[in-house]
């Protein structure tokens, strides 16, 4: 008897143009990365269909959908959640709504206790600086609502940090020529990661 394939479809629409990842087992089959700031639900659904068709994957093979529930662009979060919930109903599959910041901390293997700050690009020269508290290796939800900052305001915020962990993706560093991170206090630990965000939430989803 032929075993039925189990596909994970992961979508992230709140950060830097959005991304899609299609995963089977431990392997990423394919991914899509967006570049438009004004992402629309119909456009994103179209990209989901394209990546599945490109890889000859029938929608009925999707067993799990993972989606970011923030932090990030609030409109993008709503688009992602609405898209994922609609697909879950249509495909009768499981759905996991995941904190992107917590998934990133797990992805880069940050542990211990204290605070960690995740920098997320949510638009042209706009960023979220998400503070996650770590207690006994567990990442807790931030108690404050995420707020988008200009690059200048982000630089001011980063200057005030000391003895903490700062996590940022490589694209953000390279897009701004590393300039906003040159002045980070030496007491901080800067961790740089590179992966598409949709893949991260799928592989590092937490209850």
Find the mean pLDDT for residues 3-26: 88
Of residues 11 and 110, more confidence is placed in: 11
Question: 10 Å Cβ neighbour count for 95?
Answer: 15
Q: What is the mean pLDDT of residues 56-63?
A: 93
In terms of pLDDT, which residue wins out, 44 or 37?
A: 44
pLDDT of residue 137: 44
Average pLDDT across the chain, whole number: 84
Question: Quick one: pLDDT band at residue 184, thresholds 50, 70, 90?
Answer: confident
Using a pLDDT cut of 70, give the percent of the chain over it: 86
User: CA distances (Å), 41 to each of 12, 86, 160, in order?
Assistant: 12, 11, 38
Looking at the domain 101-193, which fold is it?
Nucleotidyltransferase; domain 5 (3.30.420)
To the nearest 10°, report the CA torsion of 38, 76, 200, 84: -120
Confidence class of residue 57 from pLDDT cuts 50, 70 and 90? very high
pLDDT digits (tens, 9 = 90+) for 93-105: 999 999 998 899 8
Evaluate if residue 181 carries a pLDDT over 80.
no
Q: What is the pLDDT of residues 98-137, one digit of tens each?
A: 999 889 988 888 766 677 899 998 877 788 888 887 654 4
Domain with CATH 3.30.420.40 in the chain: 7-100+197-203, 101-193
Cβ proximity of 123 and 74 under 8 Å: no
Whether residue 207 has pLDDT greater than 50:
no
Give the up-direction half-sphere exposure of residue 16: CA atoms within 13 A in the CB hemisphere. 21
DSSP lists the bridge partners of residue 123 as 126
Q: What is the pLDDT of residue 62?
A: 95
Q: In terms of pLDDT, which residue wins out, 178 or 21?
A: 21
Find the length of the chain: 207
User: CATH: 3.30.565.10, 3.30.420.40, 3.40.50.300, 3.50.50.60. Which one for 7-100+197-203?
Assistant: 3.30.420.40
Say if residue 143's pLDDT is above 50: no
Q: Which of 21-35, 40-54, 89-103, 110-124 has the lowest mean pLDDT?
A: 110-124
């Amino acid at each position: 008897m032929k075993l039925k394939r189990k596909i994970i479809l992961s979508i992230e629409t709140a950060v830097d143009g959005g991304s899609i990842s299609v995963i089977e087992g431990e392997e990423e089959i394919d991914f899509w990365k967006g570049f438009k700031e004004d992402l629309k639900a119909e456009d994103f659904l179209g990209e989901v269909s394209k990546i599945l068709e490109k890889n000859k994957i029938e929608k009925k093979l999707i067993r799990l959908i993972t989606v970011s529930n923030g932090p990030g662009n609030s409109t993008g979060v709503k688009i992602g959640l609405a898209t994922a919930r609609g697909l879950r109903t249509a495909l009768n599959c499981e759905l996991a709504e995941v904190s992107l910041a917590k998934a990133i901390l797990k992805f880069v293997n940050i542990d211990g206790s204290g605070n960690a700050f995740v920098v997320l690009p949510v638009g042209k020269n706009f960023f979220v600086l998400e503070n996650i508290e770590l207690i006994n290796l567990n990442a807790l939800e931030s108690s404050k609502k995420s707020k988008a900052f200009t690059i200048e305001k982000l630089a001011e915020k980063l200057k005030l940090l000391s003895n903490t962990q700062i996590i940022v993706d490589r694209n953000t560093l390279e897009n701004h020529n590393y300039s906003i991170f040159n002045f980070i206090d030496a007491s901080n630990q800067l961790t740089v990661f590179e992966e598409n965000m949709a893949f991260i939430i799928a592989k590092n989803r937490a209850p």
